Amino acid sequence: MLLPDLPPEPYRIRSVERIRLLPREERLRLLREAGYNLFRVRARDVFIDLLTDSGTGAMSDRQWAALMAADESYASSESWFRFEAAVREVTGFPEVIPTHQGRAAERLLFETILKKDDVVVSNALFDTTRANVERLGAHGIDLPDPAALAPLDESPLKGGVQLDALEKTLVAQPRTRAIVLTATANSLGGHPVPLANVAAAARIARRAGVPLFIDAARFAQNAGLLARRDPACEGWSPAKIARAIFDLADGCLVSAKKDGLGHIGGFLALRDPALAERVRAGLVATEGFTTYGGLAGRDLDAIAIGLREALDETLLAARLDQVAALHAQLRAAGVAVVSPAGGHAVYVDAGRLLPHVPRARFPGHAVACAAYEEGGVRGCEVGSLMFPEPVPGQLELTRLAIPWRTYTASHLAHVARTLGEIAAGREKLSGYRIVSAPAALRHFRAVLAPA
Ligand code: F0G
C-alpha cells in the first residue's frame, strides 16, 4: 500500500498545533549549534518529529475529558481504581504498580530481583532497559531471532527470542534472574514477538525456574501485527491476542507513553503478590504512594482510556497501515529499509544505504542528520551510537517513529520525499565522530562533528 492509497484516518482533527519548515540554511545552522545531536535541537525547529512515538501521540476527546474529571486525592483516588481496573482488564495481572514512566518500572523491578553479576536474557533489551540492568552491575544478554538481524528477510514474525540459544544460555548462566521479551522488538525493527515464541520461552523459563516478563510498551501493536501475520492468532481480536501473551508471563513492564496513549506514565503488573509487595517498598520510597506512583490522577485516567483505545481494532489498523504505507513508499523511493514494516516505526537500513560510511562513523546518525537538513524531519539513530557495545550482527539503523494519530498521509509523503532525496544523493553523505559524550546512554547527550 502506498501513501496515496491509505484509507481515510478514522478520526478528525479538532485542535491543531502549528508546525513550520525553516529555510535550509537555518536548519544547517541549528544542527551545527546543537552539536549534531537531534536530541539537542529545539522541538519548535523541527517540521515532522519522528524522534519517538513515546508520549508524543494525540490524545482523544475522551482522554482530554477524563483529565478534567480526574480525582487528585493522594491515596486510593477514583482515578487509581479506574487505572487499576483497566490494567487488570488488558493484562490479566492482579498486582498493579503505577510508575512515572517505563524506565521507573524497569528500575524498581531490577533493583528488587537483581544483584551484581546476575543476568537478564532477552530477545532485545531497549536502551533504558539495558541501562537499568547494567547500572546494578548485572548483564543483559540479547538473543534475537537471526532473521531479525537480516533486514531483507521478509519473515513476518521475526521479533522473538532465539529459543535454542535461550535454553543453552539458561544452562551456561545459572545467575539468570529474568527473561524479558520486548514486544515489539524496538531496537531491531519493531518486529512482533509471535505467540508460539512466547509460549516456548515460557516453557523454557518455567523449567529453569526463571520468571518471564514482557516489556509491553507496544503490546497493542504487537497484537495487531500478530492478528495480521500469525496463523496461530487467526480471527482473534487484538485484545484477545494481547491477553494470551500476558497469560503466558509472570508480569509485564510497561511504558504507558506508547500504547497507553499517555503523555507520561508507566506501570508494572505482576502475578506474584509477594514480589509485588517487595517492589512496592521501593515504589513508596522513590516514586510515590502505591496508588499513584509518581503520576497525577489525570495521568492515570488518560492511560486507563488509552490502553483500551490502543486495542480498538479500527484505530490500531489505521496506525499499522500508516507505518506500512510509509515503509512501502520509502522502498519505492529506493531507500534501504528493514523489512517487513514494524508496528510503530520504519527503520532505514543506514548500513546498507551508506556502505561507504563505516560503523565507527555512525551511518544511522548520518541519515538522521541528513533527514533534518533535507526536510526538517527528526528521526533517531538505533545503532552503534546508541549501543556502544553492539551485539553480534548489530544493525545500523535510523528509526522514523510515527506517533499515534498525529501526522497525516501528506506529512508522511513529505517524509518519503525527504528520504528519497537522501537516497538519490547518498554518495554525498559522510559520517560523524564523537567530540564528547557521557559514559552511559551517550546518544542522548553526545556532541558530534562531521568526520
Ligand atoms: N521499553 C521499550 C521497548 C521502550 O521502547 C521504551 C522507551 C522503554 C521501555 C522505556 O519507557 O520511555 O516510558 O521510560 N522507548 C522510547 C522510544 C523512549 O523512543 O522508543 P519510558
Catalytic residues: 74, 126-127, 215, 217, 258, 443
79 CB near ligand 1 (under 6 Å): no
Whether 213 lines ligand 1, by a CB cut-off of 6 Å, is no
Q: Which residues of the chain fall short of a pLDDT of 50?
A: none
CA of 160 to the centre of ligand 1 (A): 18
For ligand 1, mutation pick of 52, 142, 255 (most atoms within 8 Å of CB): 255
Residue 186 near ligand 1, beta carbon < 6 Å: yes
What would the grid cell of residue 347 be?
Answer: 527503520
φ/ψ (deg, to 5) at 57: -75, 170
Confidence at residue 390, expressed as pLDDT on a 0 to 100 scale: 67
Q: Is 102 in the pocket of ligand 1 (CB under 6 A)?
A: yes
Does residue 257's CB lie within 6 angstroms of at least one atom of ligand 1? yes
Nearest CA to ligand 1 atom 21: 102
Rg (CA), the chain: 21
For residue 173 and ligand 1, the question of a CB distance below 6 A is answered with: no
pTM passes above 0.95: yes
**Closest ligand 1 atom to the C-alpha of 184?**
3
CA dist 141 and 130 (Å) reads: 9
- The ligand 1 atom at the shortest distance from the C-alpha of residue 264 is 13
What is the Å distance from ligand 1's center to 255 Cα? 6
Domains and CATH numbers, the chain: 24-53+313-450 (3.90.1150.10), 61-310 (3.40.640.10)
**pLDDT at residue number 12:** 96
- Rounded Cα distance, 244 and 227, in Å: 12
HEC string for the chain: CCHHHCCCCCCCCCCCCCCCCCCHHHHHHHHHHCCCCHHHCCHHHCCEECCCCCCCCCCCHHHHHHHHCCCCCCCCCHHHHHHHHHHHHHHCCCEEEEECCHHHHHHHHHHHHCCCCCEEEECCCCHHHHHHHHCCCCEEEECECHHHHCCCCCCCCCCCECHHHHHHHHHHCCCEEEEEEECCECCCCCECCCHHHHHHHHHHHHHHCCCEEEECCCHHHHHHHHHHHCHHHCCCCHHHHHHHHHHCCCEEEEECCCCCCCCCCEEEEECCHHHHHHHHHHHHHHCCCCCCCCCCHHHHHHHHHHHHHHCCHHHHHHHHHHHHHHHHHHHHCCCCECCCCCCCEEEEEHHHHCCCCCHHHCHHHHHHHHHHHHHCEECEEECCCCCCCCCCCCCCEEEEECCCCCCCHHHHHHHHHHHHHHHHCHHHCCCEEEEECCCCCHHHCCEEEEC
Report the residue among 38, 56, 106, 126 best suited for mutation to probe ligand 1: largest number of ligand atoms under 8 A from its CB. 126
Which of 187, 258, 400 for mutating ligand 1's site (highest number of atoms within 8 Å of CB)?
258
Ligand 1 centroid, distance to 100 Cα (angstroms):
12
Which atom of ligand 1 approaches the CA of 128 most closely? 10
Q: Point out the ligand 1 atom lying closest to the alpha carbon of residue 104.
A: 14
For residue 99, is the peptide bond before it cis, meaning its omega torsion is within 30 degrees of 0?
no
Share of the chain above pLDDT 90, in %: 96
Nearest CA to ligand 1 atom 15: 54
Distance 427 CA to ligand 1 centre (A): 33
Query: What Cα–Cα distance (Å) separates residue 293 from each residue in 71, 98, 105, 263, 299?
Result: 15, 5, 10, 15, 11
Ligand 1 closest atom vs CA 257: 13
